[in-house]
Amino acid sequence: MKRLRRFLVTNKSDIIYAKIEIGHFFSDSHEREIYLFAVMELGSNILKHAQSNGELWLLEKGGFLALAACDRGIGIGNTELALQKGYSTFTESSLGIGLSSLNSTDGYQLEIVSLNKKSLHGTVVYFGRITADEQVDWLSIPFDENYNGDFSLQKGRLIAFGDVSGHGLKAAAAAMVIMDFFKRHCHSMLTIDDFFKSLHRYLLEQNARSCDLIVGAVEPDELLFAGLGNMTLWEPSENSYISHSLHAGSLGTHYSRSTHGRFELSASGPLLITSDGVLKGCFENLSATIFGSQTNAAMCAVLYFCGSLSDDASIIYIKKKEIA
C-alpha cells in the first residue's frame, strides 16, 4: 500500500478540489461515483467532527485505489454505533447515513481506528475494495510527494525494507538501485552479511545515497532478519509494543556489524518495523489493540499520528499466517 496524493481539509472548497482531483484517477464511472461519494462523506465528517483539522489520502493497494480520512478530533467513543444508519453526534441537521452507506457497499470495506486519549486523539477511516488478507503489508508516506526514499520489496519469502538518506529525486533513484541489487543478488539469509558488504561497496562505487536496511525471511510463524541503521522493530506484548533497535551504521557510508535476530509471530498481534520517520515517542503511546482486524486503518493511523513532518515515514506489518 502506498500513498498517491494528500489533500488537507480545512473548508468545503478543499473537499471539492479533492473530489475533482481524485476523480481523474478512475476510468470506470460506477467506481468513480462510489469514491466521490466517499470523498464527500469523509471530508464532510472532518469539517463537522474534527473542527476542520484533518486530511484525505488517496492510496493504492493491490492494484486498486483506496481512501483514508485522518483527523485530530476528539475521537469516536463507539465505532459500532457510528456505523448504524441514522446515528450522528453532529449538533446541526445530519441524516447520519454517510458511514453506514459506505460500510454496506458491496465489495468494499470500511475500517475505523479512533483514539480518545487526552494526549493522543483523533480518527482514521479507511475505505477501499476488499482485497486478499496478506501476511506482509507495507505503507509509506513520502516527505516529497513525488519521490520517496523509503521502499519495501518482496522476493519469494524474502523481504527488504529500506530507508535511503535524504529526500527527493536522488533518494528515490538510490532506492531503485538498491531494490534492483536486492532482486539480483540476495538469495538466502545464510549469506546475508556478504550481501550487505557487496551492496555497501556497490553504493560507494555508484556514488549513491546511503541506506538503512532490514532483510528478512518470512515464515508462517516466524521472522528471521538481519539489518543495520536507524530502524526499529516492534514486538507485540499484551496491549503494547516492545521496541528493538538495530546497531548503528549505514550501507554506503559507515558500515558496521549488522544485527541478526529471530521473532516468533504470534496471534497476539503483528510484528512491525518502522523507519526513522516514525517517531518512537509517539508510537509508544499507541495501543497494540488498534491493529485487530483494522489493519489498513491502523497502518494509516500510525503514520498519521506518529510520522515526522520532516522525513519519509514507513511501516511494514508482518503477521502470523493461519494454516488451513
Q: For helices 12-23 and 29-49, give the axis angle rounded to 10 degrees.
A: 160
Question: How far is the CA of 203 from the CAs of 18, 111, 230, in angstroms?
Answer: 40, 41, 18
Identify the band that residue 80 occupies on the pLDDT scale cut at 50, 70 and 90. low
Residue linked to cell 462510489? 34
Q: 77 pLDDT exceeds 70?
A: no
Residue 270 and residue 321 in contact, taking contact as beta carbons nearer than 8 Å:
no
- The alpha carbon of 237 is separated from its chain's Cα centroid by a whole number of angstroms, namely 21
Measured distance CA(252)–CA(42) in Å, rounded: 43
| Range with the poorest average pLDDT among 40-44, 194-198, 283-287 | 283-287
Q: Please calculate the CA angle 117-77-114 and round it to the nearest 5 degrees.
A: 60
Backbone φ and ψ for 65, nearest 5 degrees, come out as: -90, 155
Measured distance CA(224)–CA(80) in Å, rounded: 38
Question: How far is the CA of 21 from the CAs of 13, 24, 46, 58, 124, in angstroms?
Answer: 12, 6, 18, 10, 21
Alpha helices, DSSP H only, in 65-167? Answer: 79-82, 98-103
Identify the band that residue 116 occupies on the pLDDT scale cut at 50, 70 and 90. confident
Indicate the pTM of the whole model.
0.91
C-alpha grid cell, residue 310 = 520532516
Average pLDDT of the residues of the chain: 91
Residues 235-252: tens digit of each pLDDT: 988 888 999 999 889 999
CA-wise closest residue to 301 among 41, 11, 84, 54: 54
Q: What percent of the chain has pLDDT over 90?
A: 72
Q: 94 pLDDT exceeds 60?
A: no
Identify the band that residue 324 occupies on the pLDDT scale cut at 50, 70 and 90. low
Domain parsing of the chain, residue ranges: 2-129, 136-318
Question: Which residue type is seen at 6?
Answer: R
Residue 71 carries which DSSP code? E
Residues 213-234: tens digit of each pLDDT: 999 999 999 999 999 999 999 9
List the beta bridge partners of residue 314. Answer: 140
Q: What is the CATH number of domain 136-318?
A: 3.60.40.10
CA-wise closest residue to 229 among 206, 249, 214, 208: 249
Measured distance CA(126)–CA(66) in Å, rounded: 7
3-state SS assignment for residue 77:
coil
* Domain spanning 2-129: CATH superfamily: Histidine kinase-like ATPase, C-terminal domain (3.30.565.10)
Residues 154-178: tens digit of each pLDDT: 999 999 999 999 999 999 999 999 9
Question: Which residue type is seen at 254?
Answer: H
Question: Taking phi first (over 0 means left), then psi (-120 to 50 degrees means alpha), and beta for anything else, what does residue 63 get?
Answer: left
Identify the band that residue 86 occupies on the pLDDT scale cut at 50, 70 and 90. low
Report the first-to-last Cα separation within the chain, whole angstroms: 26
Q: What is the predicted pLDDT for the residue at 91?
A: 45
